Chain A
Amino acid sequence: MDWEGETDGPDSSTDDSRDAELLARSATGDRRAFDRIVARYGPLALRLAARIAPDRHSAEDVAQEAMVRIWHRAADFDARRARFTTWLYRIVVNLCIDLRRRPRPVPLPDDFDTADPAAGAEQALEHDERRAGLARAMKELTPGQRAALTLVYDEGLSGAEAAAALGVTTKAVERLLARARAQLRDRLLADGDDAEART
C-alpha cells in the first residue's frame, strides 16, 4: 500500500506551525480543521498501527482512537515542547501496547480466506518463504520491540526521536532494537537451516 501524499513531509517548521494552527483551531471545536489533521496524518497513524498491532482491524481501531484522543486533547498540544508527529507516535504506540493487555476475541489470521494456490502460486510461495517467515517472526516480537523497529527503520527516526516517542531513554530504544534484531536473525538462521535440511 502506497502511503504517499500530504503525509510524509512534516519536517519543516512551516508544517509544524501549520499543524499547531490546525490543532489550535480544533481545540476551539473546528471539525473541518481537525479533518485536515486526520487527512494529513491518518495514513501515518494507520501505517504505524498496522506495523505494531496484531491485525488490520486492531490497527484501524487504534488509528481511530488515537485521532479521537487528539481531538479531545488538542488544547494540550504545545508546539514549543514537541512536534505533533512525536505526540501522535506516542499515542499510537501506547494504544497498540494496551491492545495486548486487553482481553479480546482472537482475530482471524491476516491470510484467512485467501484464494487457493493456483498453478505457479506454490512456486511464488516458496520464493517468499523466507520473507513470510520473517514477517511471522516480526509478529512474535513484543509491541515495544516492533514499535522501536518501526519508528527507527520505517519512519526514519533517530534513536533519540524514537525514545521521545516511546517515552523511554535512548539506551532503552537501543536495547529494544538489539533484542528485536537478534530475534529476527535467529529466526532467519533457523529458517535457513530448515531449508537446507529439506534439500
Chain B
Amino acid sequence: MMTLRRFRKLADSYGADLQRWPERQRAQALALIGVSEEAQAIITRARELDEAITAAGAARDARVWDGEGADAPLQRLRENVAGRIRQPSPVRVAGLIGLHSPAASRYRPQRVGWVGLATAAGLAVAAGLTLGIYYSPSAPPEDLTALLQPAPLQVLTE
C-alpha cells in the first residue's frame, strides 16, 4: 500500500482530483483514502486549495480579456499572423530547391508540376527581357570609365 508520505507528496503536487495523479498510483491512493483519516484530511485541504486556484485562474482570465468579446483577440491574432507570414517560408524555399523536408515530402500539391514550374520560369524570363529593354541605359555614364580604372599601385603598397 502507498505510504502516507508518498500520498501527501502527490497531493501537494496534483491536488485532490485523483484523475490528475499518475495513473499507476490512483488505485493505491484510493485504497489509502478508504482506510486513513489523515489521507482524507489531506484530500480535503488539497480540495480547498484546488477550488481557490481554479477560481483565481478564472478571475484572471476574465480580467485579462475584460471588455472584449471572445473573438476579438483571436481575430487580431489571425490578422497579425497572416500579415507576418506573407513572406515566403524558408522551408518552402528549401523545398523548391530540393532540400529534404519531412512534412513537405508527405504532402504534394497535386496541381503543381513541371508545367507550373515551366510557366513560372517563362514568366520570369519575359519579365527580365522587358525590364532589360525598357530600363537599360543607352550609354554608360561619363564617370564609368574612371571608375573602371585600376587602383593606383601605391594604394596597394601603402
Contact = CB atoms under 8 A, between A and B. Distances in A.
A134 B53 contact: yes
Nearest to B108: A28
Interface size bracket, B side: 35 or more
Interface residues of A, number: 72
Contacts, number: 175
Contacts of A154: 57
Contacts of A4: 70
Contact of A60 (B49, B77, B86, B109): B77
B92 A27 contact: yes
B59 A135 contact: yes
Contacts of B64: 1, 50, 55-56, 59, 110
Given A72-B91, A75-B101, A152-B20, A67 B81 contact: yes
Interface of A: 1-4, 20-21, 23-31, 34-35, 38-39, 42-43, 45-47, 50-51, 55-56, 59-60, 63-64, 67-68, 71-78, 110-111, 128, 130-132, 134-135, 137-138, 149-150, 152-154, 156, 158-160, 170, 173-175, 177-178, 181-182, 184-185, 188
Given A28-B107, A74-B89, A138-B60, 16 more contacts: A20-B103, A20-B106, A29-B88, A39-B74, A50-B64, A51-B57, A55-B64, A64-B81, A75-B94, A75-B95, A131-B55, A149-B53, A159-B14, A174-B9, A177-B13, A188-B52
